[in-house]
Copies of this chain bind each other. A is one copy, B any other.
Amino acid sequence: MTLHSSLNEPCMPDDPALPTPCLLLDEARMAGNIARFNRHLARQGLSSRPHLKTCKSMAAAQRLLRTPSGPATVSTLAEAEYFAAHGVTDICYAVGIVPGKLARVLTLRRSGTDLSIVLDDPVTVDMLNTEAKRLFADRDAPLPVLLELDCDGHRSGLDPAGDELLAVAAAVQASPFLELRGVLTHAGAAYARADVQHIAALARQEADAVLAAAARLQAAGHDCAVRSVGSTPTALLGEYPQGVTEVRAGVYPFMDLTMCGLGVCTTNDVALSVLTTVIGHRRHDGALVIDAGWMALAQDRGLESCFLQWGYGLPCTLDGTPLPDLRVSECNQEHGIISVDSGDAAPAQALHERFPPGSRLRILPNHACATAAQHDVYHVLRQGQITTCWERMRGW
């Protein structure tokens, strides 16, 4: 994919031929974010298994992946199929498997993709065995399995210190269809508190979980080659000790206002924004009406209960300079409302004169994964000019 069908040649973001709302991606900022992340891991001798659920684009993924064939992490089988079709052959499907998804997993593996699956329940192992009996052919090698660990009470996962861990490992090992490859965890709690020390401690908690579980599994005679951890905040604000084998993170190439709020980056690092046009104003308070509603911005409110937030996004000028007195305070499907943060009427009236109908603005997103998911293409900005489009995939 090169440019949007309506564009014949590179254009500036204020080109009327560029339809708004649309998603902009600042390539230099993304490159800077990736370089910083990779340097931080390299200093610790760690390697990355980027989570491609944020970018969902091969053109973007090429810039993250260590080699064209991976390793990579995905959150849906549709992502696995898309990236496998583009040559990525080392993929971890990091959402708990259910037996109904086994047929597609096998199809991918038979076409040469080393796809690993994740589980945390003995019931799942039993059901996989039943389904595998029906689907496996002689030539099929056992499926590599990672056991999901709970390091922070956030979501699913086995207690690294509990009996259930060894029971599930034994069930996997006893299955002719499965093969234990290792353990995996994710500190989802790292997104809930804007405290750099706390997030660094959660990184340590991720590492402790996988290392403790690996030691117990190995003592019980199991292989546990993979000890996988990660999230963008824990990876960048924390450090992992020796023994951790890979780091999974997805937001770091783009960054967003949530990462700014957590202290992971500044607004100058946010590579993603939504380009929008002012379509009018609200008569009684002077608020601007823009053509980016929740359909273009997503409905993620960030961690509004935890720390400073910007409504549905932080408005910037066309060159990306934040307008910190403004915020997207309300969203309907295709309408956004930009208000003055102070609620002061005088600057609100001035706002309408400053940005009359037809003016363009950029909105920094609360959550890169959610905002990008509302769009089918990235309009890639190079030195202020849109030079190419990168397509995104979607679905399950």
* Residue ranges of A at the interface with B (Cβ–Cβ < 8 Å): 16-22, 53, 75-77, 95-101, 103-104, 119-121, 123-124, 127, 131, 148, 150, 153, 155-159, 162, 164, 188, 277-284, 289, 291, 294-296, 298-301, 332-335, 337, 356-358, 369-370, 373-376, 394-396
Contact A376 B358 (CB under 8 A): no
Contact B356 A98 (CB under 8 A): no
Taking a contact as CB atoms closer than 8 A, the residue among B284, B296, B300, B357 that contacts A124 in the complex is B357
Contact A279 B95 (CB under 8 A): yes
Q: Could you list some 5 contacts between A and B, CB below 8 A?
A: A95-B279, A95-B334, A124-B357, A155-B332, A156-B279
Q: Which residues of B contact A332 (CB under 8 A)?
A: 155, 188
Measured CB to CB, the nearest residue on chain B to A97 is B279
Knowing A19-B101, A127-B358, A358-B123 touch, does A156 contact B53 (C-beta < 8 A)?
no
Q: How far is the CA of A75 from the CA of B246 in the complex (A)?
A: 45
Contact B370 A299 (CB under 8 A): yes
The 10 closest A-B pairs by CB, nearest first: A16-B100, A96-B279, A299-B299, A156-B280, A75-B334, A156-B289, A124-B357, A98-B277, A96-B280, A123-B356
Q: How far is the CA of A296 from the CA of B19 in the complex (A)?
A: 27
Q: How far is the CA of A122 from the CA of B394 in the complex (A)?
A: 41
Contact B299 A124 (CB under 8 A): no
Contact A294 B370 (CB under 8 A): yes
Q: How far is the CB of A307 from chain B (nearest CB, A)?
A: 18
Contact A299 B300 (CB under 8 A): yes
Taking a contact as CB atoms closer than 8 A, the residue among B18, B101, B120, B337 that contacts A280 in the complex is B120
Name the prevailing secondary structure of the A interface residues: loop
Q: Which residues of B contact A77 (CB under 8 A)?
A: 19
Contact B156 A282 (CB under 8 A): yes
Q: Which residues of B contact A127 (CB under 8 A)?
A: 357-358
Contact B95 A155 (CB under 8 A): no
Knowing A121-B280, A121-B281 touch, does A337 contact B155 (C-beta < 8 A)?
yes
Q: Apart from A19-B396, A127-B358, A298-B299, what 12 extra A-B contacts exist at CB < 8 Å?
A: A19-B104, A95-B335, A98-B279, A98-B358, A100-B277, A120-B280, A121-B280, A123-B357, A155-B335, A156-B335, A162-B283, A376-B395
Contact A99 B396 (CB under 8 A): no
Q: Which residues of B contact A104 (CB under 8 A)?
A: 19
Knowing A279-B98, A295-B373 touch, does A155 contact B289 (C-beta < 8 A)?
yes
Contact B22 A98 (CB under 8 A): no
Contact B98 A357 (CB under 8 A): yes
Q: How far is the CB of A182 from chain B (nearest CB, A)?
A: 18
Q: How far is the CA of A301 from the CA of B331 in the complex (A)?
A: 13
Q: How far is the CA of A120 from the CA of B288 in the complex (A)?
A: 13
Q: How far is the CA of A188 from the CA of B282 in the complex (A)?
A: 13
